[in-house]
Chain A
Amino acid sequence: MRTGLVYDDRFLDHDTGPQHPERSDRLRAIVERLKRDHHWDRCLRLPVEPALVTSIQAVHDATYIEHVRATCEQGGAYVDVQDSAVCPVSFEVARLAVGGVIGAVDAVMAGLCDNAFCAVRPPGHHAERDRSMGFCLFNNVAVAAQHLISQHRLGKVAIVDFDVHHGNGTQHIFEARPDVLFISLHEHPSYLYPGTGFSWEAGQDRGEGFTINIPFDPHAGDEAYRHAFKHKVIPALDAFGPDFVLISAGFDAACDDPLAHMQLSTLGFAWMTRQLKELAERVCSGRLVSVLEGGYDLRSLAECVSAHVAVLLEEDGHDGLMGMKAGM
């Protein structure tokens, strides 16, 4: 497959401090590992342009965007909460992250590549319409989903979020709408930040049924995720029939992650990736863009991302067909 890769050295300039879990070293580790495993050169590097403020406004309040800009420019230490540390250029880097993801979905829509992975930071899925939470400034995936619907006129977009934390921002932005299916798999909200994502949060009004939350008890691993994919995630995606699949790809459900308590293996991440890739091939010509969210143990983050990208790069044909036969 032709797999696009979004990465830019400028993502390293979002300086959160050396002790911060969401720091530039995460991307350095990912890039080094992708090169070592020879995936780097096989990917098509996509250009990264900063998103227009009007694009970001599709899911964020104008006053919030201005608040982020002003906080960074005035040298503020964080936006809204201490977790969301910023430096003077963080606003520009956050615009680049959003722009990178928009560029990736544009590239897939234009047929420049079949799918893409976006190694961006800051992450996005906790960012609410009007405030920052948990390291996230702008909701990269949500802006991309809205861009696909309003600019590319797609009818239905699915977002699968396997970051170990609940994707509260993405859920709240789309929970009253039937054109975006949001599925989040995460550690149970009683044990993990932010404390939302109970299974009974299932969408509102016209969006009822288009939010699916799958919380796991602490220490759940590959078996639990496999079961959830077979019985909930994939059937729901097949029934929804999206025109595009977006992944909020956090790798903090990995065994060694310091922020959570799950036991997902590298093979587990690869398996989920393959399921989603085959689903996309089945229902929307393979159109899929994966966007980095969390993952805070540098070694396992790099290893899991590498395995994830390797699956995106896999040729379809017999891999895909075998998977379909085995899965169906």
Chain B
Amino acid sequence: MLIRDGMTRPVVTVAPEMLLPGVASMLRDNRIHQLPVVDGEGVLVGIVTDRDVRDARAVDGFDNRSVQSIMTPNPVSVRETDTLEDALLLLHRRRFGALPVVDTKNRVVGIFARHDCLRVLVEVLGLEQPGSRIELHIDKADDDLCKAVGVLGKLEASLVSAVVTREHTGEGRRVYLRLQTIDPTPARKAMQRSGLRVIEPGD
């Protein structure tokens, strides 16, 4: 998945010359926490957060300073064709609140904020699609995954999502499958027959 599939657009931006009271009300009215600052061509020149504005007000009250005097110039940005992994890791490791998303000419085309991660996660897990969950514990990741997929293929079960993670305690992997059916029993039984360990709900 690419960032353009998960980002928020259109994005609200401000010009470098905008005065702080105007910036404050833009943040408030749009209920956002960051604003990319762009020049006349829409090229990214900085980013300003509600915190920057609050701090400026605390020091001087609201004066006639413009946003470019308090913005972070040349902020870290991502391209719309970068992968979601880029954005997720940047937000996670560098603790940014949001990343401006730019095109090849460095023009702002969107923003990828922390809450966009939640939407991506909900989508990836298929949580808003009707379905039933099957959970497996697998030891030999490759062989067992092949088996599980083979079972689904034979049943013509419609897969909503599949997630494989490390077991938090002990060896092996945990597999979460979401099937588009009210009746996961045939799939569950077929997996057990082919030697897979199906985790019962509540265990």
Contact = CB atoms under 8 A, between A and B. Distances in A.
Contacts of B10: none
Contact of A21 (B133, B156, B180, B183): B183
B66 interface: no
A193 B158 contact: no
Interface string B172-186: 000000101111110
B130 A191 contact: no
Interface residues of A, number: 24
A60 interface: no
Nearest to B181: A83
Interface residues of B, number: 19
Nearest to A131: B130
A195 B129 contact: yes
B131 A194 contact: yes
B170 interface: no
A285 interface: no
Contact of A217 (B128, B156, B181, B202): B202
A126 B133 contact: no
Nearest to A84: B182
Interface SS of B by simple majority: loop
Given A218-B201, A261-B202, A195 B181 contact: no
Contact of B130 (A190, A195, A258): A195
A134 B200 contact: no
Contacts of A187: 201
B185 A191 contact: no
B127 A195 contact: yes
A81 B180 contact: yes
B131 A193 contact: yes
Contacts of A195: 127-133, 178
Given A134-B130, A193-B130, A165 B202 contact: no
Contacts of A82: 156, 158, 180-181
Contacts of A219: 202
A133 interface: yes
A202 interface: no
Interface of A: 21, 81-83, 126, 133-135, 165, 168, 187, 190-196, 217-219, 258-259, 261
Closest CB pairs A-B (n = 10):
A218-B202, A194-B130, A134-B182, A191-B201, A218-B201, A193-B182, A193-B132, A261-B201, A83-B182, A219-B202
